[in-house]
A and B are shown apart, each in its own frame.
Chain A
């Protein structure tokens, strides 16, 4: 059987992912996607609005994002509408809302692995490690053969919390602060990683890979250090046992 062509909305989402991963947003390409989404409006208005949610996110236009999401839900509410919106909220650094929306999507599609993956990632980004752990258990039941890639890290984080190295609430505060710093600077995220310390077991660095230069991330790290230094409760918990930081990941050949 010949492979079925991808739905138009899926193709537009892939184009947006490509635009969003570039060092600078190609506004011309973004407008082309926007125009194609407007055309799609005639046949699948809900999907077209979901595409326009991400267009707005890449322009960091949060009001437009919310407006388009409301339209998408009104026109045809699928779990993927919430999946897309959760992604868009992550782009603009709204980590708590991104988790809430993803979880809402999962309640509508409880057996969907793709939606479950999104909720686990959103939970980690919002420092909801115990919930992420429970969701990993659910993943294992749904897909015993396929490992959830973040599961070992989530287990280590939960273990550190159980041992009292830092609290989940403390880690959450630290990630909220880092997200606020990133939002203020409107820096796009390319990915994240959680690095356990080799020399000091139980300590973790939460690295946001940003589409930015080392000079830009240095400014953000300094701003974050200033905010953390002004917050007595953050220095108490998580202290430097769970530290968010920004690393530069603009594309470009600075490898040997």
Chain B
């Protein structure tokens, strides 16, 4: 892999410390994609897969899946809500605390995935 999910998360953490709303939007987008890519091998057993966002979340948070899977899926869904706002809703204020919320959820997803492996 040319870029790892961990590198995306690191980049997000750099963006969140910057001082403009564009940086915070980038932090949220990068933080979400870090968690998204972290979850793909977790959800699909290490195989190379190209799921869509909802497809991956559904794969994780489906009935009868393990609690770790479901938690990761629900947290990823939370992040997706804020990532969508960062991406599409330029007319709505996006605060640093919103970017921090995405990063917190992404770190939790990383902990779940790393803890399960």
**A, B bound:** yes
Interface magnitude class on chain B:
35 or more
Contact with A along B95-115 (1 / 0, CB 8 A): 111101100110010000000
Q: Is the interface of A mostly helix, strand, loop or mixed?
A: mixed
- Is the C-beta of A146 less than 8 angstroms from some C-beta in chain B? no
Cβ-defined contact, A197 with B81, below 8 A: yes
Cβ-defined contact, B85 with A218, below 8 A: no
CB contact under 8 A between A240 and B77, given known A228-B70, A254-B96: yes
Chain A proximity of B70: nearest CB distance (Å): 3
Cβ-defined contact, A218 with B104, below 8 A: yes
Residues of A within 8 A of B67 (CB): 226, 229-230
Q: Which of B58, B64, B84 contacts A239 (CB 8 A)?
A: B58
A-B pairs under 8 A by CB, number? 104
Nearest residue, chain A, Cβ from B89: A198
Cβ-defined contact, A225 with B21, below 8 A: no
Cβ-defined contact, B98 with A247, below 8 A: yes
Residues of B within 8 A of A215 (CB): 100, 104
Q: Is the interface of B mostly helix, strand, loop or mixed?
A: helix
Complex CA gap A221/B82 in Å reads 13
Q: Which of B19, B70, B78 contacts A221 (CB 8 A)?
A: B78
Cβ-defined contact, B95 with A254, below 8 A: yes
Nearest residue, chain B, Cβ from A222: B108
Complex CA gap A197/B85 in Å reads 9
- Is the C-beta of B63 less than 8 angstroms from some C-beta in chain A? yes
CB contact under 8 A between A243 and B81, given known A214-B104, A218-B105, A225-B75: yes
Interface magnitude class on chain A:
35 or more
Cβ-defined contact, B71 with A229, below 8 A: yes
Cβ-defined contact, A235 with B105, below 8 A: no
Cβ-defined contact, A205 with B101, below 8 A: no
Cβ-defined contact, A255 with B108, below 8 A: no
Residues of A within 8 A of B63 (CB): 232, 235-236
Could you pull out 24 A-B pairs where Cβ atoms are within 8 angstroms? A195-B84, A198-B87, A198-B88, A214-B97, A214-B104, A217-B101, A222-B71, A222-B75, A222-B108, A224-B74, A225-B74, A225-B75, A225-B78, A228-B74, A229-B67, A229-B69, A232-B63, A235-B61, A235-B62, A240-B58, A240-B61, A245-B78, A254-B96, A256-B20
